[in-house]
Amino acid sequence: MKRELIFVPAPGRGHVVSTVEFAKRLLARDERISITVVLIKRPTPPKLEPYFDELAASNPGMQFIITPDVDPPPPEFMKSIEKFATVYIDKCKSLVKDAITNHLLSNSSSTQLVGLVIDLFCTPMIDVANELGVPCYLFFTSSAAFLGLMLYLPIRHSQIGTEYSISDHNDSIISVCSNPVPSRVLPSFLFDGKNGGYESMVYHAKRFKETKGFIINTFAELEPHAIKSLESDTELAPIYTAGPLLNFEVEKLTDSERIIKWLDDQPSSSVVYLCFGSMGGFEPPQLAEIATALERSGHRFLWSVRAPPPKDFSVKPVVYTDFSEILPKGFLERTENSGLVCGWTPQAEILAHEAVGGFVSHCGWNSILESLWNGVPIATWPVYAEQQYNAFQLVKDLKLAVELTLDYRFTNPDKIVMADEIEKAVRCLMDAENPVRKRVKEVGEKGRMALVDGGSSFVSLGRFIEDVLVEKS
């Protein structure tokens, strides 16, 4: 009889893709397991259906169920993506339970449900697991250090009872970090008492401890201090490191061929790549500073230029179509032999290309892992979510990145990072003698070794599988 795990990721591209990669890793490791991924339908769904169809066809032990539509929360919740996601996912709780129940009824003779694996935004599904009488595990799509920060929130809240203040210059002592953490690099939601972001994340963090284990998309050699700190907490459920979990196939872009052909013509490690994620766009004044810095630096560049996200998450973002209208006059002509400006780019494929020697990044966790995997050093430019905290960890704790800025965030559009700062960071990033470059390559190799037989994540995954099967044996 197959032992079935139900995965419930948050309905965001980065969350879904890394969750599915973990599911694939489980199926490849143990034939006793089957997996159903319950996908919560978004109000504006990402175009991932072909990806799911291909996965189901190539992984016989995996299937996908998409929940029916549900009315989104009122417009006032749009001011905080954390609040919106929390309320929306809670509204989907009964739909997820129905999907699981109907699935089990049709397969009860051949499968046994052994647990739910939920995303950090899906803690309402702990109630579903309890009602079904099965354990619930948390799959954490970010770092061990960020998990430690989340687990610290309820403790701090019980003592202080209110959100953080970004004007507070006192350093916070957080056990998972080697260095004191200044409030200016904490995630924006920790300052958002007005719109409910802080309240929502404290709610999730409180519920984390109701789960039976924490599966983290990291590896022991990357975050030794943070993982040791978590494991030393005797009141905490087991920690399983499963990373790096990466996907190189999810996006097939029409512009990929032109971009890769351009990279093929560039010398090895000569190109600095600039990309700031799905919400990492800038207004023309900031774009002008970046353009000036790139031109002055003299380095070849591949630049993904996108518009800033709308203030209302329900509004479709603007797409730049004519770069000559938003970049400094003559910039494209002057740099046509040394640079390429694009819209959306195939990031994983680009970072794997031998011509790329540096990455100016928003420091999303998936991007960090992709960069390390390919031995490409980062210059930090966070914009939203927990990226400021990730950037701080990379630069200060792990010594794996060049500091460009640690506290930039798109909620403060009046702040401009000047060309001198950008140029300095780019030159440092692309310096062949920079010790960060060597460290990144070494840690990247350790990440690859963590996944093979006997590696730290390989061993940890085996421990998770045995713990899950023993739980219901």
Tell me the pLDDT tens digit for each residue of 145-154.
999 999 999 9
pLDDT at 204: 98
Q: Measure the CA dihedral 466/469/472/473, to 10°.
A: -90
Three-class secondary structure of residue 468 per DSSP:
helix
Bigger pLDDT: 248 or 262? 262
* Cβ–Cβ < 8 Å for 126, 97: no
**Spatial contact of 50 and 57, defined as CB atoms under 8 Å apart:** no
pLDDT band at 73 (very low <50, low <70, confident <90, very high): confident
Q: With pLDDT > 70 as the criterion, what percentage of the chain qualifies?
A: 92
Among candidates 219, 243, 214, which has minimal Cα distance to 147? 214
pLDDT at 250: 57
Question: Percent of the chain beyond pLDDT 90?
Answer: 76
Tell me what pLDDT residue 172 has: 73
Cis geometry, peptide bond prior to residue 182 (ω within 30 degrees of 0): no
Write down the H helix ranges in 92-176.
Answer: 93-107, 125-132, 144-160
Which domains does the chain carry?
2-248+452-471 (3.40.50.2000), 256-446 (3.40.50.2000)
40-45 mean pLDDT: 71
pLDDT band per the 50, 70, 90 thresholds, residue 171:
low
| pLDDT score for 412 | 75
* pLDDT > 80? residue 201: yes
Q: Is 272 helix (H, G, I), strand (E, B) or coil?
A: strand
Residue 399 and residue 412 in contact, taking contact as beta carbons nearer than 8 Å: no
Helices marked H in 238-392 — which ranges?
256-264, 284-297, 331-334, 347-351, 365-373, 387-392
Residues 6+ apart with CB under 8 A from 373: 244, 246, 351, 444, 447, 448
Q: Which two structure tokens, joined as six digits, stand for 58?
A: 């190539």
Counting DSSP H helices and E strands in the chain, the numbers are 17, 15
Identify the DSSP state of 70: -
Mean pLDDT score of the chain = 91
Question: 421 to each of 258, 368, 388, 461, how far by Cα in Å?
Answer: 31, 21, 17, 42
Q: How far apart, in whole angstroms, are the C-alpha atoms of residue 181 and residue 172?
A: 5
pLDDT bracket for residue 236 (50, 70, 90)? very high
The more confidently predicted of residues 159 and 58 is 159
pTM: 0.94
Q: Which residue has 């919106």 as its token pair?
A: 84
What pLDDT, in 10s, does the model give residues 253-284? Answer: 456 889 999 999 999 999 999 999 877 889 99
The Cα–Cα gap between 334 and 105 comes to 65
Per-residue confidence band for 357, with pLDDT thresholds at 50, 70 and 90: very high
Token pair, residue 298, equals: 């003299």
Instruction: Check residue 244 and give its pLDDT.
Output: 97
CA distance linking residue 193 with residue 165, whole number of Å: 10
Do residues 277 and 367 make contact, with C-beta atoms less than 8 angstroms apart? yes
- Per-residue pLDDT tens for 370-414? 999 999 999 999 999 999 999 999 999 999 999 999 999 987 767
- Which residue type occupies 373? W
pLDDT, mean of residues 187-194: 94
Q: Is the pLDDT of residue 48 over 80?
A: no
Question: Is the bond leading into 244 cis (omega within 30 degrees of zero)?
Answer: yes
Beta carbons within 10 angstroms of residue 99's beta carbon? 22
